[in-house]
Chains A and B, each alone.
Chain A
C-alpha cells in the first residue's frame, strides 16, 4: 500500500542537481513523527491481540489464581451450545440485515443518483439517521416498540392489524424484525452513498447506446448498471457483513438478549462471559473464534482490493 514511496530508491550518491532525490534519503526523523501512533497501536492493539491468544489458554478469573489449561477453553467452547446458538443467531441477523441494507441502499441510490431540483436536501434527509449513534437510535426504537408508551402498538391497532395492544418485543420474530428494521432505517443511507458513487461513475453514453439499441429499463439495469457497480456492491456487502457480525448495541439496549435469550449475539455472549461472569480466559477463547471468522472475511476483502489494484 505504501509502494509509491519505495520505488524510487536513490542509487549511489545523489547528484546535487537533482534536488528531489535529496528528500528521498533515509531520514530517521520519520520515526519521531510516527512514534506516538505506533506507541498507541502497540499498547492498545498489538499487545492485547497477543494477550487474547495467551489468555485463551488459561483459566483466568478476575480474582484468584490464573491457571494454564491448554486448550481447555476451546474444548468447553466446542460444547457450549449457547455460544453456537449466539453465533447462529448472529449469522441469521447478518444475512437479513445485509439483504435489507443492500436492497434499500441500492433503491435509494438509484432514486437520488441523478441531479434534480432539491436533490441535496433529499440525500441529506435519507442520510441523517446514519450520524445518530447506535445507542441513541436503539433507545429511540426501544421506546417506539414499547407496548404501553410506544408508537408501533397503537398504530398497528389503529390500522386494524392487531385487536389488542401487542408487545412487539415479547415474541422472537416481531422483536427480531423490529431491531432489523431499525438498523435498516439507521444505516441504509450509508450504503446509499457508497452505491451512489458507483452509479455516478458509469458513463451516461452506455445508457444512451443501450437505449438506442432498444434496451428497456430492466435490461439496462441488469446488463449495464449491476455489472458496472459490482465493486461498490462487493464493498457494501463486505462492510455490511463485517459490521453485522459484530452487532451488540441494538440487541443489548432494545432486547437485552430477550425474549428468552434468543437474540444474544456473538459479541453479546463474549461480553456476558467476560464482564458479567468474569471468565476472562473463556471470553478470550470466544474472542479468538470471532476474530478468526472476521479475519477470514477481511482476507476476502483484501483479495477483492488486490484484484482491483491489478486491474487499474
Chain B
C-alpha cells in the first residue's frame, strides 16, 4: 500500500516530460482563448478603414498597416486626444484624491482614540454595501445643486467616494501593521501629526498607497454608468461614453475600425499598468474581496 502510494507520488512529483508538455499545451490553449479577443482587437485597429468593416479574418491587416482608424477618431466629438485627456484627468485626480483622503482617514482610524470612532468607521464601510446604482437620482440632484453636474470635478468626487470604503479599510490595516515602536521612536525625536505621517509612516505604508491609487485609477478610467449620467455635454465625455456614442451610430454609420481603435486606447493603459504593478493590484483585489 505505502509502496504504491509513494510510487504514485514520485510520478506526480517528477512529471515526465510528456505530461509536462501536455500541461503546457493545455495552458497555452487556454491562454490563447483569454488573450485572443484582446490581441484580435488591437491588430484590427491597424487595418485600413474599408478593411476594418469586413470580418476580421485574418485579424492582421492584409492591405498594409495604417493608423487611419485612430485618425478617424479625431473627427468624433472633440477629438480622441481631448477625450483621452478627460479620462486621464478624471482617473488621475480620482487616484490622487483617494490616496490623500484614505491615507489621512486610515491614519486617523488606526492611531487615534476618539468617541464614536467605531460608528464612523462603520458608516464608511456601509457605503460598500449600498450599491451606487441605487442612489443615482439623488446624486444627480446633489451635483446639480452644487453646480457640479456636467463637470469632471463632480465625477471625480463621486468616484473618490465610491473608492473610500475599500481604500480606508485598506489604509487602516496598513497603518495597523506598522509597529507602534517606530511611531513612538519618531515621536520622541519630535515628529508629530502630519509630519510624522508623511515623513516617517508614509514610506512604510507605500505598498498600501500603491494598491489604493492603482485600483482607484483603473476604476475611474473604466467607469461608465456614472459618466453617462453625470456628463451631459459632449466636450466633457470620458472615453467610454464617447466610444459608446460612436458605436451607437450617433456620429453617422457605425465605423467598427474607429470603435476598435477607441477600445484599444481604453484598454492598453489598463493592461500596461496592471503588468507593471501586478503585485499591488492583486494585493488590493484580495484585500478588497475579503473585506
Chain A residues within 8 Å of B, Cβ to Cβ: 1-6, 19-20, 23-34, 36-38, 40-41, 43-49, 51-52, 55, 108, 111-112, 116-118, 121-122, 124-126, 128-129, 131-136, 139-144, 146, 148-151, 153-155, 185, 189-190, 193-194, 197, 208, 211-212, 214, 235, 239, 242, 246, 248-249, 252-253, 256, 267, 270-271, 274-275, 280, 283-284, 287-288, 290-291, 294-295, 298, 301
Q: How large is the interface on B (under 10, 10 to 19, 20 to 34, 35 or more residues)?
A: 35 or more
A294-B37 Cα distance, complex, nearest whole Å: 33
Residue pair A30, B112 in contact (C-beta under 8 Å): yes
- CB within 8 Å for A41 and B225 given contacts A5-B117, A32-B108: no
Nearest to B5 among chain A residues (CB) is A212
Nearest to A150 among chain B residues (CB) is B55
Which chain B residues (158-211) contact chain A, with CB distance < 8 Å?
A: 158, 160-161, 164, 168, 176, 180, 184, 193
Residue pair B55, A154 in contact (C-beta under 8 Å): yes
Residue pair A185, B262 in contact (C-beta under 8 Å): no
1/0 per residue B103-121: CB within 8 Å of A? 0110111111111011011
16 A-B pairs besides A37-B168, A197-B286, A287-B135 with CB distance below 8 A are A4-B176, A20-B180, A23-B184, A25-B113, A30-B114, A41-B123, A44-B161, A111-B27, A122-B30, A132-B266, A136-B266, A139-B244, A143-B263, A193-B286, A194-B289, A242-B131
Query: What is the CB-to-nearest-CB distance from B170 to chain A, in angstroms, rounded to a whole number?
Result: 13
- Is B281 close to A, CB under 8 A? yes
A253-B259 Cα distance, complex, nearest whole Å: 12
CB-CB < 8 A to A283: which residues of B?
136-137
CB-CB < 8 A to B108: which residues of A?
30-34
CB-CB < 8 A to A287: which residues of B?
133-137
- Is B127 close to A, CB under 8 A? yes
Instruction: For A135, give its contact among B20, B110, B224 (CB under 8 Å).
Output: B224
Residue pair B157, A31 in contact (C-beta under 8 Å): no
Residue pair B161, A40 in contact (C-beta under 8 Å): yes
- CB within 8 Å for A129 and B121 given contacts A33-B104, A193-B285, A249-B225: no
Residue pair A132, B271 in contact (C-beta under 8 Å): yes
Query: What is the CB-to-nearest-CB distance from B118 to chain A, in angstroms, rounded to a whole number?
Result: 5
A270-B105 Cα distance, complex, nearest whole Å: 33
Instruction: For B184, give its contact among A4, A19, A122, A246 (CB under 8 Å).
Output: A19
Query: What is the CB-to-nearest-CB distance from B173 to chain A, in angstroms, rounded to a whole number?
Result: 10
A98-B259 Cα distance, complex, nearest whole Å: 29
CB-CB < 8 A to B57: which residues of A?
151, 154-155
Instruction: For B38, give its contact among A32, A128, A211 (CB under 8 Å).
Output: A128
A214-B290 Cα distance, complex, nearest whole Å: 35
Residue pair A132, B267 in contact (C-beta under 8 Å): yes
Residue pair A29, B112 in contact (C-beta under 8 Å): yes
A24-B124 Cα distance, complex, nearest whole Å: 22
Residue pair A136, B259 in contact (C-beta under 8 Å): no
Nearest to B123 among chain A residues (CB) is A41
Residue pair A34, B218 in contact (C-beta under 8 Å): no
Instruction: For A48, give its contact among B120, B135, B256, B259 (CB under 8 Å).
Output: B135
The 4 A-B residue pairs whose C-beta atoms are closest, nearest first, are A133-B222, A30-B112, A33-B108, A51-B138
A151-B121 Cα distance, complex, nearest whole Å: 49
Residue pair A52, B135 in contact (C-beta under 8 Å): yes
B66-74, B77-85, B139-147: which lies at the A interface?
Answer: B139-147
A23-B8 Cα distance, complex, nearest whole Å: 58
Residue pair B130, A135 in contact (C-beta under 8 Å): no
Nearest to B54 among chain A residues (CB) is A149
- Is B23 close to A, CB under 8 A? yes
- Is B41 close to A, CB under 8 A? yes
Residue pair B105, A36 in contact (C-beta under 8 Å): yes
Query: What is the CB-to-nearest-CB distance from A234 to chain B, in angstroms, rounded to a whole number?
Result: 12
CB-CB < 8 A to B53: which residues of A?
148-149
A291-B126 Cα distance, complex, nearest whole Å: 13
CB-CB < 8 A to B26: which residues of A?
111
CB-CB < 8 A to A185: which residues of B?
33-34, 37
- Is B221 close to A, CB under 8 A? yes
- CB within 8 Å for A38 and B135 given contacts A23-B184, A193-B285: no
A1-B117 Cα distance, complex, nearest whole Å: 11
